[in-house]
Structure 1
Amino acid sequence: MVRLTAACAAVLLALSACSDSGSGSDASSSDAAGGPSGTVTVFAAASLEETFTALGEDFEEAHPGTEVEFSFGGSDSLAAGITGGAPADVFASASPATMEIVTEADRAAGEPTVFVRNQLQIATLPGNPHDIASLRDLADDELQVVLCDAEVPCGAAAQRVLDAAGIELTPVSYEQDVKSALTKVELREADAALVYRTDVNAAGDAVHGVAFPESAEAVNDYPIVELQDAPNADAARAFIDLVTTSAEGQRVLTDAGFLAP
């Protein structure tokens, strides 16, 4: 029955092509029924890796014939790639500041939409052997602490909370994205790192999370936008709809620890 249905659909498609040979429709962006098809390329902040990977699988299942390709990394590096001409359909950033790099370069096809927010936590070694209980504890000279680089949204947020609390840190390293900072703790190359609560959740038993009230001073908005001259605009808009307006998209994100916009 499936093979017969597919064969009938193929005949109907062929007849349609004969009767409307001048339509010029792009098969890479929409299928015969008007839904998205082909490959959609999404540049997304590293902290979105787990949730967007899951949503990408949901998207492919809901839209047969589509494939979602992701490039995850520091939002500033991704923005630089986009403004430098890297082909992509969607950009999801971990801060409005890095999104502005793209919008000010006229690479956004419309107004970005904030779809979630994120908050910092302290990631420590499993079991929290150094008994880190507050942000101020990170100033202990005997602790090896890792921060994201200030150009990266998680680093900018960390600097805001440290400045607000009047705390000065000398980290053992500055990392180019939040996953790299977290990995230092997971590999026991650092005692603690300031990362997002979602990354602590995703790491499971590999780290221990410590919430701190000062994190409320630097909650990051996450905007998403379709890119100008997107190779697959139909699929780009459909993926953005999944993330921003669908109940399933918001459920996956909030279950991971993201805050509603």
Structure 2
Amino acid sequence: MTRYTRRTRRTLQVTGVGVAALLALSACSSGSDSSSKKDSSSASKDSAKKLTGTVTVFAAASLKESFTTLGKDFEKAHPGTKVTFSFGGSDTLAASITGGAPADVFAAASPKTMAIVTDKKDGKGTATAPSTFVRNQLEIATLPGNPDKVASLKDLTKSGLKVVLCDKTVPCGAAAQKALDAGKLKLTPVSYEQDVKSALTKVELKEADAAVVYKTDVKAAGSKVEGVDFPESANAVNDYPIALLKDAPNAEAAKEFIALVQSPEGQKVLTAAGFLKP
């Protein structure tokens, strides 16, 4: 065997060892990268905290239908969560919150009632900065077929007509008074109700001939009442603010519910119910 042949064979052996070593290092590196990616993916999933528990929402009575729908949508999107609602007059709900009632979210029918929660006299508001998410306009609800031929706000002042209004402390009542003032009209109702749904129910049960409520409530009632628009309502459009309460028992899930309300999907549900965009 020649010296050249022995040298060539030795070179090939060394080269073969080097290639094998490189392949082994490559495999280790690949395995390490794969493991790193898996670890990163697992960490990412762990960081995305799963929402659980109950979200308690205090909301104006006029939001009942649309918020109930959004609550179901939220629960479907976040298995393991439950959304419970307390609907009523915004002033009553605000008083409950400042009185210590446990809740996560407050959605009011006017900035004035939201201020009861955000601007306490001791300077310690119980809610974070609110934001307007929809607006609402008034409408007259009459008996089906409008037998009394109500065509304007002034017609509600006719003698013998039984009209119901929301209490003046409630946003729908304050808005109705503002509309009456704009039309320079005086109206003495047969009763003042504590929330808009109660006022509408009086007409649905034929205990009243008409009521001044929101367009959304007339729409929700369907054939049970008939709606009559009036121009003075343009002077009394209500902004609806929503806020996360500072001592919210389930703040993380509450934030996501508010995000749903403000999202394009949430706004679609609200506008379909008759609410105006903010």
TM-score bucket of the superposed structures, by smaller chain: 0.7 to 0.9
Q: Which residue does the alignment assign to 2:29?
A: none
Q: Which residue does the alignment assign to 1:239?
A: 257
Query: How do residues 5-44 of structure 1 correspond to structure 2 at under 5 angstroms?
Result: 33-44=48-59
CA contact under 8 A between 1:93 and 1:99: conserved in structure 2?
A: yes
Q: Which residue does the alignment assign to 1:80?
A: 95
CA contact under 8 A between 1:123 and 1:209: conserved in structure 2?
A: yes
**Letter of the aligned partner of 1:203 in structure 2?**
A
Q: Which residue does the alignment assign to 1:209?
A: 227
Q: Which residue does the alignment assign to 1:253?
A: 270
Structure 2 unaligned blocks of 5 or more: 1-45
2: distance between equivalents of 1:109 and 1:71?
Answer: 17
2:198 aligns with one of 163, 180, 204:
180
2: distance between equivalents of 1:141 and 1:120?
Answer: 22
Whether 1:116 aligns to 2:134 is yes
CA contact under 8 A between 2:98 and 2:126: conserved in structure 1?
A: no
Q: Which residue does the alignment assign to 1:159?
A: 177
Q: Which residue does the alignment assign to 2:189?
A: 171
* Cα shift at 1:122: 0.1
Whether 1:94 aligns to 2:109 is yes
* Cα shift at 1:32: 7.8
* Cα shift at 1:156: 0.1
CA contact under 8 A between 1:82 and 1:107: conserved in structure 2?
A: no
2: distance between equivalents of 1:240 and 1:234?
Answer: 10
Q: Which residue does the alignment assign to 2:65?
A: 50
Q: Which residue does the alignment assign to 1:143?
A: 161
1: distance between equivalents of 2:63 and 2:47?
Answer: 32
Normalization by structure 2: what TM-score? 0.81
CA contact under 8 A between 1:108 and 1:225: conserved in structure 2?
A: no
* Cα shift at 1:212: 0.7
Aligned length: 230
**Letter of the aligned partner of 2:69 in structure 1?**
A
**Letter of the aligned partner of 2:171 in structure 1?**
P
Q: What is the SS of the residue equivalent to 2:58?
A: strand
**Letter of the aligned partner of 1:257 in structure 2?**
G
User: Structure 1 residue runs of 4+, over 3 Å off?
Assistant: 106-109
CA contact under 8 A between 2:117 and 2:127: conserved in structure 1?
A: no
2: distance between equivalents of 1:32 and 1:38?
Answer: 18
CA contact under 8 A between 1:47 and 1:179: conserved in structure 2?
A: yes
Q: What is the SS of the residue equivalent to 1:169?
A: coil
1: distance between equivalents of 2:142 and 2:60?
Answer: 22
**Letter of the aligned partner of 2:148 in structure 1?**
H
**Letter of the aligned partner of 2:130 in structure 1?**
P
* Cα shift at 1:110: 2.0
Q: What is the SS of the residue equivalent to 2:181?
A: helix
2: distance between equivalents of 1:71 and 1:157?
Answer: 22
Q: Which residue does the alignment assign to 2:13?
A: none
